[in-house]
Amino acid sequence: MNYWERLKILKPMSLKRRRECYVIMTMWKILNGHHPNNMGIEFQSSKHNRITAKLPKLSKSGKAKHPTMYDTSFAVLGPKLWNLIPANVSSVKDLEVFKIELNKDFLSKMPDKPPVKGYSCENNNSLLEWCSSGALLSGRIC
């Protein structure tokens, strides 16, 4: 059995997946008033009761290295990850139910293949990369 097959059987989340999961849970806490919104993240309801987060705008006066810093900041990464989750999950009001639904309806359906020395992988295992790649289009999770 290869490493990824063993991960699938044992069902631990990779470190990257856990970090992204915590970012999504923090976004839920901000939305529901359980965590301070120090970054001014804005949420909006769209059609079909989907709650989405707005991405902050990048200043035009930034230097070349700043887009990378911008993309990896919580104020950007949080809304990008939040906007991936299904509408039925984003509207849950109880944290424990949210965690269960997030795992059942989204995370468990996503490949979790972290980069490992000696194994080739399609990307760096980010939920954002899995959703933007053609790898999931047939299952249409994202």
pLDDT digits (tens, 9 = 90+) for 45-75: 877 778 999 988 766 565 656 567 777 889 9
pLDDT tens sequence across 115-134: 777 777 777 888 988 888 75
The structure tokens listed for 57 are 């705008």
| Residue 93 maps to a domain | yes
Model pLDDT, residue 98: 96
Cβ pair 110, 12 in contact under 8 A: no
| Residue 36 maps to a domain | yes
Model pLDDT, residue 61: 60
Measure the CA–CA gap between 19 and 2, rounded to whole angstroms.
24
Which structural domain, as residue segments, surrounds residue 97? 3-136
| Residue 111 maps to a domain | yes
Entry pTM: 0.81
Percent residues over pLDDT 90 in the chain: 42
The structure tokens listed for 92 are 């849950």
In the chain, the number of structural domains is 1
| Residue 142 maps to a domain | no
